[in-house]
Chain A
Amino acid sequence: MASLREMRRRIRSVKNIAQVTRALEAVSASKVRKAVAALLATRPYATKAWQVLTHLAGQPGRESLHPLLTPRPNPKRALVVVISGDRGLAGTYNTNIVRFVMREFAHYPLPVDYVVVGRKGRDMLLRRRCRLIADFSDLPAAPAFADVSAIGRLVVDEFLKGNADEVWLVYTDFVNMMKQEVRAKKLLPLEVQRPEERVEAFEQGRKVPAAYIYEPEEREILDEIVPRFTALQIYQAILEGLASEHAARMVAMRNATDNAVELAADLQLEYNKARQQSITSDMLDVVRGAESLTRS
């Protein structure tokens, strides 16, 4: 059995760990709040932009609006943007992402290139010998749109140059504090549903936009709006990922704290028992000693 001193040291270190994880949990809790606020703040813009795009695509007589909206007949390569975290200690957050990527894309019918955001995802994908073509790790803690628009630009360029025929986005959707889900979303070609119900609405005499007036040219506007929207989706996914990461870390840290506290209690009990035992045996020694003295 471990000596009393060793046990004391062990108890102290476990208590220290509990303190550290408790602090980390508090930090993550405040970060998750901020990340969720940022996430909600950008939502109106994203929804409105999506609306504009569907309005555009919903116009009658438009087969191919823009190269970024047009599916290619014989896709040859795929590009996957993987959004992970820069740091560990977040429970299964990072491993879930990588596991998902492996499950979905390791045996994909097309050769796959990867663009990664986040150090952890990068390292794990490299270890699995995936072909990375770009790495956007070490983003600021609260990225602004400008910080991530380069990712969108790169992806759009690769697609237009023909280096990739489809582009996927893998990120962790923040459902709520306890639940985060890894999802894959097809980024390019952008699939805008042509809303059939518009026709019905028209027949019912409601107001439906016929064709837009474009100022300047239609082409120019689409050139501006479609790539930007792609970048926006990546931005949104990064914000989702950040919120998920902090939430995952918070939960992981809370579990760690609980475990450490429990362990410390167990150890303390054991320590007390051992101490009691040693006192008892010491006393027995004293009594025995005294007895032997009186007998003589």
Chain B
Amino acid sequence: MPIRCEIVSQDRTVFEGEADIVILPGSAGEMGILPNHAPLITTLNYGVIRVRRHGEEQVFTVAGGIAEVQPDVVTVLADAAENVEEIDVERAEAARRRAEEAMAKGVPKDTDAYLAIEAALRRSRLRLDAVRRYRRAKQLKGMPEE
């Protein structure tokens, strides 16, 4: 019996479907959720969510959030989430460059601006890493390319 998986970010539903296993980047470590899991609530780290169904894997980046697990459904409330296949590499690259430049200019620590830049940097790096790791692997398996 599969488990339902719903990933919603603040501005849209990113994924909705069934899964054999959902692997979440919990703040206390990665966790694989199988159907009939005990009820659980966890905060999420920056990382990737992997949703596997019939041996096929979909990968999503997630920039923090909360996941609620019920025996028959996993709900991910993400601060931001994207399917790895949909990531705009050029934009992520540009964002990273911008953030790195801003960082190099030296912003006083513990200010909001610093935190914002740091978050932007983390987000763009996460995206780029995810693309590098997961998109290529899929293409090698003969998955449709962009």
Q: State the main secondary structure of chain B at its contact with A.
A: strand
Q: Which residues of A contact B28 (CB under 8 A)?
A: 215-216
Beta-carbon contact of A215 and B40 below 8 Å: yes
- Which positions 26-63 of chain A face chain B at CB distance < 8 Å? 38, 41-42, 44-45, 48-49, 51-52, 55-56
- Which positions 199-244 of chain A face chain B at CB distance < 8 Å? 207, 209-216, 220-221, 224-225, 232, 235
Q: State the main secondary structure of chain A at its contact with B.
A: helix
Judged by a CB distance under 8 angstroms, whether B83 is at the interface is no
Determine the distance from Cα of A222 to Cα of B38 in the docked complex, in whole angstroms: 19
Beta-carbon contact of A42 and B39 below 8 Å: no
Q: Which residues of B contact A211 (CB under 8 A)?
A: 39
- Which positions 6-43 of chain B face chain A at CB distance < 8 Å? 6, 8-13, 26-28, 31, 38-43
| Chain A residue at minimal CB-CB distance from B112 | A150
Determine the distance from Cα of A45 to Cα of B80 in the docked complex, in whole angstroms: 11
- Which positions 158-214 of chain A face chain B at CB distance < 8 Å? 207, 209-214
Q: Which residues of A contact B43 (CB under 8 A)?
A: 215-216, 220-221, 224
From B27, B31, B38, B77, contact of A45 by CB (8 A): B77
Interface size class of B (residues with CB under 8 A): 20 to 34
Beta-carbon contact of B8 and A48 below 8 Å: yes
From B12, B31, B42, B77, contact of A49 by CB (8 A): B77
Q: Nearest Cβ distance between residue A73 and chain B, in whole angstroms?
A: 29
* Total number of residue pairs linking A and B with CB closer than 8 Å: 73
| Chain B residue at minimal CB-CB distance from A215 | B42
Determine the distance from Cα of A242 to Cα of B77 in the docked complex, in whole angstroms: 24
Q: Which residues of A contact B57 (CB under 8 A)?
A: none
Judged by a CB distance under 8 angstroms, whether B75 is at the interface is yes
Determine the distance from Cα of A235 to Cα of B79 in the docked complex, in whole angstroms: 14
Determine the distance from Cα of A225 to Cα of B66 in the docked complex, in whole angstroms: 8
From A44, A209, A216, contact of B70 by CB (8 A): A209
- Which positions 57-101 of chain B face chain A at CB distance < 8 Å? 66, 68, 70-72, 75, 77
| Chain A residue at minimal CB-CB distance from B39 | A209
Mark A residues whose CB is within 8 Å of B.
Answer: 38, 41-42, 44-45, 48-49, 51-52, 55-56, 144-145, 207, 209-216, 220-221, 224-225, 232, 235
Mark B residues whose CB is within 8 Å of A.
Answer: 6, 8-13, 26-28, 31, 38-43, 66, 68, 70-72, 75, 77
